[in-house]
Structure 1
Amino acid sequence: MEKISGKSKRLDIENINLIKKLIPYAFDGDKIDFELLKEALGDNVSTDNERYQLTWHGKANSRQISMEQTSGTLLPHEEQSVNWSNSNNLFIEGDNLEALKLLQKSYHGKVKMIYIDPPYNTGSEFIYPDKFKDNLDTYLKFTGQIGDEGFKTSTNTEMDGRFHTNWLNMMYPRIRLSRNLLRKDGVAFISIGEAELGNLIKVCDELFGPVNRIGVCSRVMKTGGNKGTYFSPNVDYILVYAKDINEVNGFRDEISEELINKVYTQVQQEGPRKGENYRIMGLYQGYLDKRANQRYFIKCPDGSHVLPPGETIPQEVAMGEQVTPVDGDGMWRWTYGRFKEELENDNVEFKKTNKSSLIDQDGNQAKWNIYTKIWLKDRMDEGKVPVNIFEKFENRHSSAELKELDIPFDFAKPTMLIKYLMKIVGVKGNDIVLDFFAGSCSTADAVLQYNKEAGSQCQFVCIQLPELLPENSNEFKLGYKTIADIGKERIRRVLKKIESQDGFKVFSLGSSNIKSWSPDVENLEASLFDSVENLRDGRTEDDILYEILLKSGLELSVPVEIREVNSKKIFSVGFGALLICLEENLSIDDVEKIGQLKEELKPSSVRVVFRDNGFSDDSVKVNAIQALKQFGIEDVKSV
């Protein structure tokens, strides 16, 4: 019976398996033969040590940190949550590096959108001190879960000498891990100030690939102001990257009321679209490149034939008669086939004029202009391409929101901004939105509002370090000990304000419930009869349950039902896909009754997990696997 490890998913093994799947002959057993791999890649192997790149002291270590396993877990806190049983939203209190590692298996390729507002590195923000080998212990000391006399935190100041280095070493592994969680059509938005804009673009180009950079947007933070040495800093920036640019859809904005009133002023007077608003656009546009099938005669209402300006005239004067254009000849926007179809659908308009840019069959100035109708309803459905300057989401809007909620916090992003990003990228249904620098939880607030307005069931996953607030701060005096406390309380107040039936689950980062583990499967088999308790004292069944979910690659929002067999509690996860029994003194009859649950619940496949020393004796433990095989259950593990 294989034991579940207390370590997180090994990303290096996953990468090796991907290579093995694509190029199996480049392996000698389980080891990569790099000479064979080079042969398989042909000329696409770089051997140049001098190339354009961003490098800094600690970059290699940052890569290693992102690959290192964690021995942490996420501990559930139902008492801090709202509507625990019926909500898929998550708030995780802890170091986001460790939390992102723990989410790699359960949320890999499942996140539609990432929005983060990380420290801008202006010299006053706290930069968390990542450690390669003992990062979890560092976090536990930071939060007081384990003692460490003399452990200190500090801000990142320019006096340090490693000003940019410290910030880059913090950001690099976190962005690298978060990219794994995006869906193929997923998009990441990263707010940033001017200090690290250039560096962050280079980091994201490296991690996402420059081809997947969608753009850099400017956001107006405020208007006016008299700060700054040379210019008043009134804008910050949002970097936009796709997981795979070829998979991205959406990126459409609503047409504004102002544009509608200004442009879509004409009204259809008859036909099936009677009463609809539209605008017109010339069928001839001077900027079009020459195309062989887009220069032809069109017959006007008075019987004359017209075409765009130019020297080349069709030999026969007839509707649709084409000619191959030469340099300088004008083009219609549509082919004749498309024009004919749109004409039949009443999407073409002829207007008499003495200022026409068209010519008639004799080469003289025509008496007509030809327009196509662009219907408001169609454009409302399609939307428009958003601009890369955001002027409606200033900091003052966020200040007003927090004041209304009576939440003390400075420098939060407006929920209107995040809702706008969700809208233009096409977040819908039960899509997941991730924010691993959650702060006061503007993202959670935005998702809850978005669901209320759009009737969707989108989920948020917010991660926030429990950064201590100064004891002399207004927040501390109001009862908030950490920034994470502020975030949780904001979510509660938003739920109440908008009268949402939703909720959120609270988890915190802690050490694994499993005390002893080995990454070597063969060694695990050797400990089959080890009856020593390997679970930490003081941990609850729910603590262990949710660690098993993470290690099994299941989302923390998966439905969990409690069943009973022979008065023994069984957790049925995902409608029977995973059955967990953490009881002690199990008999063979108990095991067989668990097997019978499969026949009752009828899942397509079943995994069963027991407490490693939960059997009445060693013979029951040995026979349990065979007993479950009778019910078609092959996947049996212990914890």
Structure 2
Amino acid sequence: MTVEKRKMHSPDLTQRNINAITELFPTVITETLDPDGNPVRTVDFDALRQELSEHIVEGPHERYQLDWPGKRAAAFVANTPIAETLRPVREESVEFDTTKNLFIEGDNLDTLKLLQQSYLGKVKLIYIDPPYNTGNDFIYDDDFAESTADYLARSGQKSETGDRLVANTEANGRFHSDWLSMLYPRLRLARNLLAENGLMFISIDSGEVASLRLMCDEVFGASNFVDALVWQKKVSPSNDSQFFSNDYETILVYARLKRPGVIERLERNDQHNKYYTNPDGDPRGRWNSVVATSNKTAAERPNLYYLIRNPSGVEVWPPVRPRGSTPAMPCRN
């Protein structure tokens, strides 16, 4: 005879209600701390009132910003000085006295602070590949109130260089907030290191790209956003993907001061020049011909159909083609 095990506590009705509200109104769910300082999901009641109202509900003063629980503490972490120093390891170095390269091992937040004095405004390019916050990642723990021994006893996690790491799972009540708080001070310190013509490249996946861009807009200034580069990370589809087989990631690019020339063009090499020839001996050098036809008909885009007069005086017009047809290759005189 088996005895069914029964739960010895009543269900958490508050959490059940929050879950139900999440299904109906996901925009009103936020992250905060309870009176005991524990991270929890909660409901923004002003936002919920607006969802249920037929008129604009009065609430706290609004302004355009990215905010999360722990943001002030993250800013404080960025500004807090440390009593640390960089120690050279000559026995593991190559040409220590003459090399122009520097390889640093250690906590990256501490290192960024230590570099402020010597490299402030001098770095031309910074590339970082932070944890993507997928729910399976470990992020850096910047709460140094407890000792390292206590921390390791509690979490059992550390990086190869001894950095203190914590698992950031989706069950964490501050899943997004902890990730933002980890990255925020590092971005602020990294920006300080950039020269006026410096650039920062940040790899990220689709999960946090929106939050990261808003945070970078605040740290660097939205006007210094250069571009979001898309790179293909794999060529074969993932047949075990639950939804879409995502084959790309994003690299956000920000400048310390966005202006013409901040990104310099590379000189053409032999690989580039092979596409250009000079069969007619043009004194201006190598050239290449391209199809000068539009993918729209004259009726659809009349402003794209105009006369081109070549150096010999011949007038060239694009071909008139029917709607929906493919562009014609040759032009007629």
Q: Is the TM-score greater than 0.5?
A: yes
Alignment of 1:181-220 (within 5 A): 181-220=193-232
Q: CA RMSD in A?
A: 3.7
Q: Does 1:350 align with 2:312?
A: yes
Tell me, in whole angstroms, the C-alpha distance in 1 between the residues paired with 2:196 and 2:61.
Answer: 32
Q: Does 1:277 align with 2:277?
A: no
Q: Does 1:88 align with 2:100?
A: yes
Tell me, in whole angstroms, the C-alpha distance in 2 between the residues paired with 1:328 and 1:356.
Answer: 11
- The equivalent residue for 1:629 is none
SS state of the match for residue 195, structure 1?
coil
Tell me, in whole angstroms, the C-alpha distance in 2 between the residues paired with 1:82 and 1:54.
Answer: 45
Q: CA deviation at 1:171?
A: 0.3
| Pair 75,260 (structure 1): closer, same or farther in 2 beyond 3 Å | closer
| Pair 148,243 (structure 1): closer, same or farther in 2 beyond 3 Å | closer
CA contact (8 A) 1:112 1:183 kept: yes
CA contact (8 A) 2:308 2:317 kept: no
Which of the numbers 219, 229, 233 marks the counterpart of 1:221? Answer: 233
Which of the numbers 87, 102, 105 marks the counterpart of 2:117? Answer: 105
CA contact (8 A) 1:54 1:202 kept: yes
- The equivalent residue for 2:256 is 243
Which of the numbers 51, 57, 69 marks the counterpart of 2:69? Answer: 57
Tell me, in whole angstroms, the C-alpha distance in 1 between the residues paired with 2:234 and 2:182.
Answer: 28
Tell me, in whole angstroms, the C-alpha distance in 1 between the residues paired with 2:236 and 2:290.
Answer: 39
Which of the numbers 83, 86, 100 marks the counterpart of 1:74? Answer: 86
TM-score for the superposition, normalised by structure 2: 0.64
- The equivalent residue for 1:155 is 167
Q: CA deviation at 1:202?
A: 0.5
Tell me, in whole angstroms, the C-alpha distance in 1 between the residues paired with 2:314 and 2:185.
Answer: 65
The residue identity in structure 2 corresponding to 1:150 is A
Q: CA deviation at 1:118?
A: 1.0
| Pair 255,58 (structure 1): closer, same or farther in 2 beyond 3 Å | same
More helix by share: 1
Kindly provide the CA deviation profile for residues 587-630 of structure 1, in whole angstroms up to 9, marking residues without a partner as x.
xxxxxxxxxxxxxxxxxxxxxxxxxxxxxxxxxxxxxxxxxxxx
Kindly provide the CA deviation profile for residues 68-103 of structure 1, in whole angstroms up to 9, marking residues without a partner as x.
111111111111222111112112111111111111
Alignment of 1:224-623 (within 5 A): 224-226=236-238, 227-246=240-259, 248-252=261-265, 264-269=276-281, 271=283, 276-279=285-288, 349-350=311-312, 352=314, 356=317
Q: CA deviation at 1:219?
A: 0.9
SS state of the match for residue 139, structure 2?
coil
Kindly provide the CA deviation profile for residues 466-486 of structure 1, in whole angstroms up to 9, marking residues without a partner as x.
xxxxxxxxxxxxxxxxxxxxx
- The equivalent residue for 1:500 is none
Kindly provide the CA deviation profile for residues 417-476 of structure 1, in whole angstroms up to 9, marking residues without a partner as x.
xxxxxxxxxxxxxxxxxxxxxxxxxxxxxxxxxxxxxxxxxxxxxxxxxxxxxxxxxxxx
Q: CA deviation at 1:55?
A: 0.9
CA contact (8 A) 2:307 2:317 kept: no
Which of the numbers 152, 157, 179 marks the counterpart of 2:191? Answer: 179
| Pair 149,258 (structure 1): closer, same or farther in 2 beyond 3 Å | closer
Tell me, in whole angstroms, the C-alpha distance in 1 between the residues paired with 2:252 and 2:304.
Answer: 41
Alignment of 1:8-87 (within 5 A): 49-87=61-99
| Pair 330,59 (structure 1): closer, same or farther in 2 beyond 3 Å | same
Q: CA deviation at 1:350?
A: 2.6
Q: CA deviation at 1:160?
A: 1.6
SS state of the match for residue 98, structure 1?
helix
CA contact (8 A) 1:189 1:238 kept: yes
Q: CA deviation at 1:192?
A: 0.6
TM-score for the superposition, normalised by structure 1: 0.35
SS state of the match for residue 57, structure 1?
coil
Tell me, in whole angstroms, the C-alpha distance in 2 between the residues paired with 1:95 and 1:220.
Answer: 30
Kindly provide the CA deviation profile for residues 245-281 of structure 1, in whole angstroms up to 9, marking residues without a partner as x.
026433435769887666x35434265x5xx421357
For the pair shown, the structure with the greater C-alpha radius of gyration is: 1
CA contact (8 A) 2:138 2:168 kept: yes
Tell me, in whole angstroms, the C-alpha distance in 2 between the residues paired with 1:328 and 1:241.
Answer: 34
Tell me, in whole angstroms, the C-alpha distance in 2 between the residues paired with 1:230 and 1:149.
Answer: 37
Tell me, in whole angstroms, the C-alpha distance in 1 between the residues paired with 2:246 and 2:219.
Answer: 29
Gaps of 5+ in 1: 1-47, 288-309, 311-326, 334-347, 358-367, 370-639
CA contact (8 A) 1:122 1:195 kept: yes
SS state of the match for residue 229, structure 2?
strand
| Pair 282,93 (structure 1): closer, same or farther in 2 beyond 3 Å | closer
| Pair 148,259 (structure 1): closer, same or farther in 2 beyond 3 Å | closer
| Pair 270,97 (structure 1): closer, same or farther in 2 beyond 3 Å | closer
Tell me, in whole angstroms, the C-alpha distance in 2 between the residues paired with 1:280 and 1:113.
Answer: 37
Q: CA deviation at 1:220?
A: 0.5
Tell me, in whole angstroms, the C-alpha distance in 2 between the residues paired with 1:224 and 1:254.
Answer: 33
SS state of the match for residue 160, structure 1?
coil
Tell me, in whole angstroms, the C-alpha distance in 1 between the residues paired with 2:218 and 2:317.
Answer: 52
Q: CA deviation at 1:205?
A: 0.6
Tell me, in whole angstroms, the C-alpha distance in 2 between the residues paired with 1:160 and 1:329.
Answer: 59
The residue identity in structure 2 corresponding to 1:233 is N
Tell me, in whole angstroms, the C-alpha distance in 2 between the residues paired with 1:328 and 1:80.
Answer: 64
Alignment coverage as a number of residue pairs:
246
Tell me, in whole angstroms, the C-alpha distance in 1 between the residues paired with 2:80 and 2:63.
Answer: 27
- The equivalent residue for 1:126 is 138
Tell me, in whole angstroms, the C-alpha distance in 2 between the residues paired with 1:329 and 1:217.
Answer: 33
Sequence identity, in percent? 39
Tell me, in whole angstroms, the C-alpha distance in 2 between the residues paired with 1:238 and 1:88.
Answer: 27
